[in-house]
Amino acid sequence: MKFATEIEKRRTFAIISHPDAGKTTLTEKLLLFGGAIQTAGAVKNNKIKKTATSDFMEIEKQRGISVATSVMAFEYNGKQVNILDTPGHKDFAEDTYRTLTAVDSVILVIDCANGVEAQTERLMEVCRMRKTPVIIFINKMDREGRDPFDLLDELESMLKIKVRPLSWPIGIGATFKGVYNIFRKQLNLFAASKTKIAQEIVSINDIQSNEIDELVGDEAAGLLREELHLIEGVYDEFDVKNYLSGDVAPVFFGSAVNNFGVKELLEAFLEISPSPRGRETDAGFIEPQADEFSGFVFKIHANLDPKHRDRIAFLRVVSGRFERNHFYHQVRLDKNFKFANPTSFMAQDKSVIDEAYPGDVVGLYDTGNFKIGDTLTEQSNFSFKGIPSFSPEIFMELENRDPLKSKQLEKGIEQLTDEGVAQLFVQQPGNRKIVGTVGQLQFEVIKYRLENEYGATCEFTPKRFYKACWMTSTNQQQLDQFIRAKTIYIAQDKDKNPVFLAETPFLLQMAQQDYKDITFHFTSDFKVGKN
Ligand code: G4P
């Protein structure tokens, strides 16, 4: 019984946004509500400013901060809330995509003036692929922004998801007076406060009540009634099932920096969001309630001290109970490991834990045995599916600059790509190493870390590739023929899968036309991937 209660009370999610929409601010306010921190400003901004592109100390600081804030946990209303941090910088987007495999739902933050931005679209695409339930928080309502109805239309058309407002703003910017909480049928009045979390809440269950006119003025009250009427006409009644299946995203309005609308968001979130879900494996679906412990590694973080090459592997517990000092089976290596100091990350503090439950994230000290995507079980041999690699966007060939250090370079690049800093594709003949990333910044990180941690010097030469495409086909003969014909554009990924490095969209299109039995994928997660 206790085990089932432990699972039911957990909520593991991520807050995602385009940089600057207010992810850090909202995270901080949630931590304030949960009592995990006492003052605003305690959460460091986990992002590298644009000017820091070549500032290595900044990169190192960023790595430090992101370990410290990897998981922020607190209790609220009897629920155990686990917020998984995602990097703010777009060059680390791949890291964010992987973290999304470890959560059960997300809160997506939108700036009310900017609406849907580039990074919002890409993050949402990953959520859609995985059918992750999404709640949208439209932030910065204290500033002049766009019309709420226009914003909702834009969300639906650009993010390809149905939306359903569960709160509604009364005015915007200078005229912003508060939000009407549709979910609770409550009027919340706006009192800007950057430091306090208290606010005046007046409960009005009848939207026709004169009290609303008295509180916000006749004009605003009239408009609110009209708009609520329109909402009821345009949007279907909110059904939590459609949210849980990833088909409808409930929308809340507020102002994170002023602590407004945050409590409503948090409480509604805790009420409707899913408790830890199971995950698909190559031997079927594993439910969190299963007796046997299992989990997977979704993130690896190198030690900040270059003298110690140990790392922290972040494991999401999927089923059963994880215990300290207990032997667990690492499926890929077919080896058993015991963890003396498994760590939880509560806001800024690290602490050793004795046990963990489904939905929890445990930091495991690792000396190089883990790769992203690895499965840990009690004894079974199944592997979790779906830590996808996405096609990189920038490709460079890695060249060794110091022949005496080639072993160090090999080892360094192997370990850094195990951590997921970048993807490695090896081309024959000559074992040429093509490194692929989503952002320029990673190349600087790699160069810096190879020098500082492995004593190897390298150079990068740009390669003009458009995409790396994984391939599947029911016609093995055609696939073999393609691989032979395109040798100079074929490389192997880390798992020895052949990958087609397409130079241009046109050349990819030609390949698709000429080899009709081959499917080209932009992610390595073929089952849910799309072309
Ligand atoms: P991010 O993590 O998504 O990148 O965004 P972050 O929370 O850092 O917020 C970006 C900027 O937007 C910050 O201002 C923050 O104070 C501001 N902000 C967040 N929520 C609101 C809101 O509800 N209303 C208004 N008006 N501003 C908001 P900054 O100037 O970049 O930093 P700071 O000096 O204020 O910390």
Distances in whole angstroms, Cα of residue 170 to Cα of each of 84, 150, 404: 32, 15, 68
Instruction: Give the model's pLDDT for residue 211.
Output: 85
Which pLDDT band, with edges at 50, 70 and 90, does 88 fall under? low
Lowest average pLDDT, out of 79-88, 182-191, 455-464, goes to 182-191
Average pLDDT in the 351-356 region? 86
> Ligand 1 centre from 78 Cα, in Å?
30
> Ligand 1 centre from 332 Cα, in Å?
43
Domain boundaries, given as residue ranges, for the chain: 2-272, 279-377, 394-521
- In sign, the C-alpha dihedral spanning 413, 418, 421, 424 is positive
Q: Please count the residues of the chain.
A: 531
Per the model's pLDDT, the better-predicted residue between 207 and 193 turns out to be 207
Average pLDDT in the 133-142 region? 96
Q: What is the reported pTM?
A: 0.86
Pocket test for ligand 1, best of 15, 18, 25 (most atoms within 8 A of CB): 25
> Ligand 1 centre from 110 Cα, in Å?
12
Lowest average pLDDT, out of 87-96, 244-253, 445-454, goes to 87-96
For residue 21, pLDDT over 60 is answered with yes
Per the model's pLDDT, the better-predicted residue between 93 and 32 turns out to be 32
Pairing of strands 10-17, 79-84: parallel
Q: Measured between alpha carbons, how far is 275 from 287 in angstroms, rounded to an integer?
A: 12
Residue 260 Cα: closest atom of ligand 1? 23
For residue 430, pLDDT over 80 is answered with yes
Ligand 1 pocket check for 47: Cβ under 6 Å? yes
For residue 459, pLDDT over 50 is answered with yes
Instruction: Give the model's pLDDT for residue 358.
Output: 97
Q: Measured between alpha carbons, how far is 394 from 445 in angstroms, rounded to an integer?
A: 14
Instruction: Give the model's pLDDT for residue 302.
Output: 75
Q: Measured between alpha carbons, how far is 493 from 471 in angstroms, rounded to an integer?
A: 12
> Ligand 1 centre from 195 Cα, in Å?
14
Instruction: Give the model's pLDDT for residue 52.
Output: 37
Residue 18 Cα: closest atom of ligand 1? 3
Per the model's pLDDT, the better-predicted residue between 119 and 302 turns out to be 119
Residue 21 Cα: closest atom of ligand 1? 3
Percent of the chain with pLDDT over 70: 87
Average pLDDT in the 116-142 region? 92
Instruction: Give the model's pLDDT for residue 185.
Output: 83
Ligand 1 pocket check for 113: Cβ under 6 Å? no
Q: Measured between alpha carbons, how far is 233 from 239 in angstroms, rounded to an integer?
A: 15
- Side-chain-side CA neighbours of 513 within 13 Å: the count stands at 6
Ligand 1 pocket check for 86: Cβ under 6 Å? no
Ligand 1 pocket check for 145: Cβ under 6 Å? no
Instruction: Give the model's pLDDT for residue 40.
Output: 60
For residue 482, pLDDT over 70 is answered with yes
Given a contact cutoff of 8 angstroms between Cβ atoms, the answer to whether 293 and 321 are in contact is yes
Q: Give the model confidence (pLDDT) of 49-84 as tens digits.
A: 433 334 455 665 665 555 556 788 888 999 999 999
For residue 481, pLDDT over 50 is answered with yes
Residue 45 Cα: closest atom of ligand 1? 8
β-bridge mates for residue 300, sequence order = 313
Nearest residue (CA) to ligand 1, atom 19: 22
Q: Give the model confidence (pLDDT) of 240-299 as tens digits.
A: 999 999 999 999 999 998 888 888 899 999 999 999 999 999 999 999 999 999 999 998
Instruction: Give the model's pLDDT for residue 54.
Output: 42
Lowest average pLDDT, out of 44-53, 394-403, 463-472, goes to 44-53
Nearest residue (CA) to ligand 1, atom 16: 257
Ligand 1 pocket check for 44: Cβ under 6 Å? no
Per the model's pLDDT, the better-predicted residue between 191 and 208 turns out to be 208
For residue 219, pLDDT over 60 is answered with yes
Nearest residue (CA) to ligand 1, atom 29: 20
> Ligand 1 centre from 257 Cα, in Å?
7
> Ligand 1 centre from 244 Cα, in Å?
29
Looking at every residue in the chain, the average pLDDT score rounds to: 86
Residue 47 Cα: closest atom of ligand 1? 4
> Ligand 1 centre from 19 Cα, in Å?
10
Instruction: Give the model's pLDDT for residue 138.
Output: 97
Beta carbons within 8 Å of 497's beta carbon, 6+ residues apart: 470, 524
Cα dihedral 88→89→94→99 (10° resolution): -10
Average pLDDT in the 208-236 region? 90
Q: Give the model confidence (pLDDT) of 183-199 as tens digits.
A: 888 887 766 555 544 45
Given a contact cutoff of 8 angstroms between Cβ atoms, the answer to whether 382 and 375 are in contact is yes
Pocket test for ligand 1, best of 16, 144, 257 (most atoms within 8 A of CB): 257
For residue 173, pLDDT over 50 is answered with yes
Instruction: Give the model's pLDDT for residue 61.
Output: 60
- Outline where 391-498 has alpha helix (H): 406-418, 441-454, 476-485
Ligand 1 pocket check for 69: Cβ under 6 Å? no
For residue 330, pLDDT over 80 is answered with yes
Closest by CA to 72, choosing from 5, 21, 121, 24, is: 24
Lowest average pLDDT, out of 93-102, 186-195, 425-434, goes to 186-195
Instruction: Give the model's pLDDT for residue 309.
Output: 65
Class of residue 214 by CB neighbours under 10 A (exposed 0-12, middle 13-18, buried 19+) = exposed
Q: Measured between alpha carbons, how far is 8 from 522 in angstroms, rounded to an integer?
A: 36
Closest by CA to 422, choosing from 332, 503, 494, is: 494
CATH topology of domain 394-521: Alpha-Beta Plaits (3.30.70)
Beta-strand runs (E) in 353-457: 355-356, 361-366, 375-377, 394-400, 423-427, 432-437
CATH topology of domain 279-377: Rossmann fold (3.40.50)
Nearest residue (CA) to ligand 1, atom 17: 22
Instruction: Give the model's pLDDT for residue 531.
Output: 31
Lowest average pLDDT, out of 58-62, 138-142, 208-212, 291-295, goes to 58-62
> Ligand 1 centre from 324 Cα, in Å?
40
Residue 256 Cα: closest atom of ligand 1? 23
Ligand 1 pocket check for 490: Cβ under 6 Å? no
Task: Verify cis geometry, omega within 30 degrees of 0, for the bond prior to 429.
Answer: yes
- Shared fold status for 2-272 and 394-521: no
For residue 512, the surrounding DSSP H or E stretch is helix 505-514
Ligand 1 pocket check for 17: Cβ under 6 Å? yes
- Between CA 224 and CA 120, with CA 138 as vertex, the angle to 5 degrees is 145
> Ligand 1 centre from 387 Cα, in Å?
31
Instruction: Give the model's pLDDT for residue 264.
Output: 86
Beta carbons within 8 Å of 400's beta carbon, 6+ residues apart: 406, 409, 456, 457, 458
Task: Please provide the CATH number assigned to the domain covering 2-272.
Answer: 3.40.50.300
Ligand 1 pocket check for 193: Cβ under 6 Å? no
